[in-house]
Amino acid sequence: MERNNLYPIFLKAKNLNVLIVGGGFVAEEKLTFLLKSSPDAHVTLVSPMFREGTIALAKKGCVTLVEDKYKKKYLRGKHIVVVTTDVPEVNVKVYKHCRKKSILVNVADNPPYCDFYMGGIVTKGNVKVAISTNGKSPTTAKRLRQFFEDVIPENVDDLVKNLNEYRKTIKGDFEEKVETLNEFTKGLIEKKES
């Protein structure tokens, strides 16, 4: 059986500079999901044209729209690049430029040209679950996202905050605290009898 070897991380997008190359539907979709998950993300889009929806979306966040064709200079100071154009030569050129500068890059819908994938995300307050299908099936990731949105209770954030307060009151070293919290939360994820 094939194994997913991707390493999941949660990025503080407000501390990073993200570049999206392209201004079409896919660019708008990537920007939508990025801002939904990280409304404080710093994003620049470069494209000769932008959809009306993208322009409206940009006003809601820390988003800069640059009407221009892609040039290497736009990579300056960027940490992450998402490429969404429908011109394969441009996509490959951006990918190669990013690789030379050690910038993480994702060419949309082109797994061999991706250092990372943007998976399905579920957010309930402080709890966030990210889902990856190893770039194989975005539809499966979407279905799993919908499933987790249904099964994770709305009040899970209250639990997280209460446990954080409770954790501060527990005496003992790290191991003892972990043991106490494990015991305290055991009933949280008990398997239902069928």
- Give one DSSP letter per residue of 62-107, joined into a string: EEEEEES---GGGGTT-SEEEE--S-HHHHHHHHHHHHHTT-EEEE
Read off the pLDDT of residues 110-145 as tens digits, 9 standing for 90 and up: 989 999 998 889 988 888 999 998 878 888 988 999
Convert the pLDDT of each residue in 39-64 to its tens digit. Answer: 999 999 999 999 999 999 999 999 99
- Give 119's Cβ-side CA count (13 Å radius): 24
* Whether pLDDT at 84 is above 50: yes
- Model confidence at 185: pLDDT above 80: no
Does 193 have pLDDT greater than 50? no
